[in-house]
Amino acid sequence: MEYVYPAVFHANADDGSYTITYPDLPGCISEGKTLANAMYMAQSALKEYIEYLTDKKKNIPTASTLNDIKAGTGEFVNLIRAEVKDGKAVKRTVSIPQWMDEKAVESGVSLSRVLQDALGEKFATSA
């Protein structure tokens, strides 16, 4: 699912870094050493915050419009988009050769972890 929220970027004059806050998401705060880093950190913070709310089964607040947020001196407002994937585990039945199963058990390998890693890698490279 995609989420878009306005974020306030406050330029820190002493070191050129940026502090990022989300008026609609109390406690969702991040910072970046440069503007590019701040944009990346803003997206990461938004994604993690939404994942936290989802995991804790809390309501996800409605996002304000860009025009609803007023920037102060040394600040600007920008929309930040984050895609949050449903990480809920689902049970699947898969078949593997017996010798692979025996080797996995012998080695203490988690078949679920191996499958998740392999699929994650496959979809990351094909996206």
Ordered DSSP codes for 98-126: HHHHHHHHHHT--HHHHHHHHHHHHHHHH
53 lies in the same domain as 99: no
Q: Pick from 35, 57, 54: which is nearest to 46 by CA?
A: 54
7 lies in the same domain as 21: yes
29 forms beta bridges with: 21
pTM here is 0.69
Identity of the residue numbered 39: M
7 lies in the same domain as 32: yes
* Cβ atoms 24, 50 nearer than 8 A: no
10 lies in the same domain as 52: yes
15 lies in the same domain as 73: yes
The domain in which residue 54 lies consists of 2-83
* Cβ atoms 17, 33 nearer than 8 A: yes
96 lies in the same domain as 63: no
72 lies in the same domain as 101: no
DSSP state of 67: G
76 lies in the same domain as 108: no
At residue 71, φ and ψ (nearest 5 deg) are -90, 145
117 lies in the same domain as 58: no
44 lies in the same domain as 18: yes
DSSP state of 25: S
Per-residue pLDDT of the chain (127 residues; tens, 9 = 90+): 999 999 999 999 999 999 999 999 999 999 999 999 999 999 999 999 999 998 899 999 999 999 999 999 999 999 999 998 776 677 788 888 899 888 888 998 888 888 888 888 888 765 4
Q: Pick from 26, 98, 85: which is nearest to 54 by CA?
A: 85
72 lies in the same domain as 102: no
